[in-house]
Structure 1
Amino acid sequence: MTALNPTFAKLGVRDEIVRALTEDGKEHTFAIQELTLPLAMAGDDLIGQARTGMGKTLAFGVPLLHEITSDENRPLTGAPRALVVVPTRELCLQVSSDLAGAAKYLTVGDRKLSVVSIYGGRAYEPQVDALRAGADVVVGTPGRLLDLAQQGHLQLGGISVLVLDEADEMLDLGFLPDIERILRLTPDSRQSMLFSATMPDPIITLARSFMNQPTHIRAESPQSSAVHTTTDQFAYRAHALDKVELVSRILQVRGRGATMIFTRTKRTAQKVSDELAERGFKVGAVHGDLNQGAREKALKAFRTGEIDVLVATDVAARGIDIDDVTHVINYQCPEDEQAYVHRIGRTGRAGKTGVAITLVDWDELARWQMIDKALGLGHPDPAETYSSSPHLYEELDIPTDATGKVGPAQPAKQAKRPARDSAEKPSRARPKGTRRRTRAGKPVSGHPEGENAPKAEGADTAAADGEQPARRRRRRPRKAAAATAN
């Protein structure tokens, strides 16, 4: 943040919104906000593009709140006037919280302006009651929004501002048909805004189909690095069986604050969380096998500092917006360069510094080299590294006396143990070190909303956890049975 950025007040934002933002320490705009606000507040359609963590939420949130409260010809009645569509539950909660914070001094007659979140994984009744009580701004995930709209609980005929946030993620998760149905339920006269960190061709096509001569705003030059220059990046070639030991040392680096650890599969996320808790770390997990209450509990504990390590699948990369995350650890190599950018974008936010560490197993080397080449990182062949490697301690500033434990085992932070996938058989107790038999499957990163969430992520393979399948035993026919046959 520099003094050259204009303030929200200077750009003509309502005093009530400016007051709320100032109290939250947000007086000056970021680049995407400075470029977006004048056009959005004038009612223009626009496409906003900026790196993750650079203020896209307020870039559409501030003009959205300003617009619906400044139109004297259409006073707010409690029927939805603004709709923000997001891909995941976590992002839904985050955006709702940000908008509610910016709107806390905005009133409609004798009531406060209301921001309601609508997402799957929760009971219908409280959300229906919230809509009936008055919802000026609705933030929701596609499946649940469409479901409530088709049931008649959500009326979209009065929408004057529509926002698609993280549009590329919604495309990746297969929400395009639902989004198109939602768009058809809104008036053609609405103002439309689309925001995304990346802008692939299908997103441009989508924008042309529902927007009116949109202005494409890029907050930085096309040659700018896709990752934050304030984030120091390290990559190490690590063996699967040594990764937890290695991570235990990394979590003891000097000056470490809140830390996020990313895995590709939800089973690995829970496994790593459990093992780190056994080693004394204050850790929680967020992944698709946990119910929504448990996920929200873990996120709240992470935000409040009750835990300082959060293990997550890529579901959390889009939804967690915490400015003071100091370290990101890729326990498993991301699927591609976009996943890498979104993961490490959890640190180095808002101009702060951060550290991103990627552990590359031998069978992940080709994927890592593809990511390295696409982003120009310059680390195509990471050094072979173990938990005892001297260069690890030196490069990351780990105390030389660090061990694999920091104290007694910590209690689990989840309210509910993860449910088993329907395809996974109950496992029997077995001695430590024995092999387990699993079914192969292609892991899928991310977990969208509620009932419509794809189940493929649960089909994580034993190879992803560094395990080998067990051999099947052949049963010998009983002698009696053989005798009878003869």
Structure 2
Amino acid sequence: MASDFGKLGIRPELQKALASYGVKEPTPVQTQAIPLLLAGRDVAAQAQTGTGKTLAFVLPILERLEPKRPFTQALIVTPTRELAVQIAKETERLAAVIDASVLALYGGQDVERQNRKLEQAPAVVVGTPGRLLDHVKRETLSLNGVRMVVVDEADEMLRRGFLEEVETLIALTSEKRQTMLFSATMPQPIRELAERYMRKPEQLRLSGKGKQVTVEEIEQAVVETAEADKTKTLIRLLEHYRPYLAMVFCHSKGRANVLNEALKEANIESDVLHGELSQAKREFVLKRFREAKLQVLVATDIAARGLDIEGVTHVFNYDVPQDAEWYIHRIGRTGRAGESGVAITLATVRDSARIARLESKIGLKLPRRDAEGGLLSSPVAKKAPAKPAGGRKPGASPAANARKRDAGRDRAKRPPGASGPGGKSRGGFGAGAAGAPRRGAPRGKSR
């Protein structure tokens, strides 16, 4: 594997910008995809969420852009508004190095304001299929000069019924385009899309070793509980693990709303994210969560795809996901870019068959834990010793602490003044000045 981005063909100015954001070593998908894309090849890459896919296509695009040309040269199509905003922000901060402009187009924004920005002919446009086609029909967006096209989260496009719009957008771009397709899974309709619109694409598959398809740095477990005790169990888990940032997934908007209110009543700083919120409200909630002003984000699966939020240390499946694909995307909100994380699934007796199917699909027997993180006596899979992630010393992460407990050592408590990922200090979970409220733990309760 290349030791740095320079060996992959990335210019020094972009390397310096990446280093300033703490990105110094390429991930496997970046190592494999970047040289191919810089050579102008079409690429269809299957890679798990959280593996660095965005930089794998953004960096080659920026290397091949001609910023002074007065038309849009690259189009990145995403299934959700949140992902469009996220990719646009990441691209924009790197594009500034080469003086190239970037614009995000998605629903919920003022169309006239977007029109005015499109008059400046941004070099890179990132957007959702519906809003992109809307601008094409209005003749405010021309794709004739687009010679680099990215279809990101292609399987999610399929699930949401956007493939027809995606095909229309691709067909409107230059015949000499380079096409890049990234997807966590490759169902038949996605493979057929690649066959129709890509020229002898390089097929990349980065889905882990052997049959296990979840990220190794994520410690996964099941906590068995009664339906009536789920909320109480979740609160006990939050008190035990004391996460830096946690995401909790529910299968419906109603369940998410009810759980969020229960957590607030327990003095846990939480908020909710689902499809019925306005775009402005969704952006406000995500901003507060990214800034660690919220500790717990209760969400439906709208948040399971594409959101890359630094510092998410724990994921809790309040409801067992419908299938293995959604499980993978949910837990992929933690353990990103080589960091460690913890994913706990709450399961009732009725969930037994679904858990068994899930374990079969991901190739892993999930350990059973109690509500305080301890292993139960039921048989569990043998787990190889985890590697310290991100330069963290063994035992410094929640996952490492759990492994120590499993070995029969004394239960470790996070020391006062502990910091979040990357050494970022915060005033939660026993950190900060005397008298500061502890995020995520019901106030006024002794530990």
Equivalent residue of 1:329, what SS?
strand
Once residues 201 and 375 of structure 2 are traced to their aligned partners in structure 1, the CA distance between those partners, rounded to angstroms, is 54
- The superposition leaves residues 124-172 of structure 1 with CA deviations (integer Å, 9 ceiling, x where unpaired) of 1222222113311110011111111111111111101000001011111
Tell me which amino acid in the other structure corresponds to 2:19: T
| Counterpart for residue 442 of structure 1 | none
Give yes or no for the alignment of 1:371 onto 2:364.
no
1:299 to 281, 286, 289: 286
**Which residue number in structure 2 is paired with residue 153 of structure 1?**
140
- d(CA) in 2 for partners of 1:397 and 1:84? 47
Relative to 1, partners in 2 of residues 1:361 and 1:125: Cα closer, same or farther, differing over 3 Å?
farther
Q: 2:240·2:373 contact (CA, 8 Å) conserved in 1?
A: no
**Which residue, 76, 90, 96 being the options, matches 2:82?**
90
Matched, 1:81 2:73: yes
Q: Specify the alignment match of 2:328 in structure 1.
A: 341
The letter for the 2-side match of 1:44 is R
Q: Is the 8 A contact 1:331 1:359 kept in 2?
A: yes
Structure 2 counterparts to residues 31-430 of structure 1, below 5 A? 31-69=28-66, 75-77=68-70, 79-107=71-99, 113-219=100-206, 223=210, 225-254=212-241, 256-379=243-366, 406-407=442-443
For residue 261 of structure 1, give the secondary structure of its aligned residue in structure 2: strand
2:21 corresponds to which of 16, 24, 27: 24
Relative distance call for 1:198 and 1:390 in structure 2 (3 A) is: closer
Paired with 2:241 and 2:229, the residues of 1 have a C-alpha distance of 21
SS of the aligned residue for 2:126 comes to strand
Offset at residue 69 of structure 1 (A): 3.1
CA offset at residue 253 of structure 1? 2.2
**Residues 279 and 35 of structure 1: CA distance in aligned 2, closer, same or farther (over 3 Å):** same
Structure 1 equivalent of residue 380 of structure 2: none
Distance 2:371 2:6 in 1: 53
Greater shift in the superposed pair: 34-43 or 125-134: 125-134
Look up the equivalent residue of 2:197 and give its one-letter code. F
Cα separation, 2, equivalents of 1:314 and 1:28 = 31
SS for the counterpart of 1:32 is helix
Contact 1:5 1:30 in 2 (8 A): no
The 3-state SS of whatever aligns with 2:132 is helix
Segments of 5+ residues of structure 2 without an aligned counterpart are: 378-401, 414-437
CA distance in 1, matches of 2:208, 2:320: 28
Alignment partners' CA distance in 2, 1:279 and 1:221: 39
Name the structure 1 match of 2:9. 12
Q: Who wins on radius of gyration, i.e. which is larger? A: 1
Secondary structure at the aligned position of 2:58 is classed as helix
Distance in 2 between residues matched to 1:252 and 1:221, nearest whole Å: 32
TM-score, scaled relative to structure 1? 0.75
Structure 1 unaligned spans of 5+: 108-112, 409-486
| Correspondence for 2:386 | none
Deviation at 1:323, TM superposition (A): 3.5
Deviation, structure 1 residue 221 = 6.0
Contact preservation (8 Å) 2:238, 2:441 = no
The letter of the residue matching 1:42 is: A
Q: What's the CA shift for 1:304?
A: 0.8
TM-superposed deviation, 1:175:
0.5
Would the aligned equivalents of 1:263 and 1:331 in 2 still touch at CA under 8 Å?
yes
Q: 1:7-66 deviations in whole A, cap 9, x for unaligned? A: 112222133322211111112211111111111011111112222111100000000111
Does the C-alpha gap of structure 1 residues 181 and 229 become closer, same or farther in structure 2, counting only changes over 3 Å? same
Give the partner amino acid of 1:217.
Answer: L
CA distance in 1, matches of 2:375, 2:216: 27
Q: Is the 8 A contact 2:267 2:443 kept in 1?
A: yes
Q: Deviations over 1:424-450 (max 9, x none)?
A: xxxxxxxxxxxxxxxxxxxxxxxxxxx
Moved more, 129-138 or 297-306: 129-138
Instruction: Classify 1:254/1:317 alpha carbon distance in 2 versus 1 (closer, same or farther; 3 Å).
Output: closer
Letter in 1 for 2:173: T
Once the two structures are TM-superposed, the CA of residue 348 in structure 1 deviates from its matched residue by: 1.4
SS at match of 1:69: coil
Kindly indicate whether the alpha-carbon contact (under 8 Å) linking 1:20 and 1:103 is maintained by their aligned counterparts in 2. no
Distance, in Å, in 1 between the alignment partners of 2:150 and 2:298 is 30
Instruction: Specify whether residues 234 and 36 from structure 1 end up closer, same or farther in structure 2 by C-alpha distance, changes over 3 A only.
Output: same
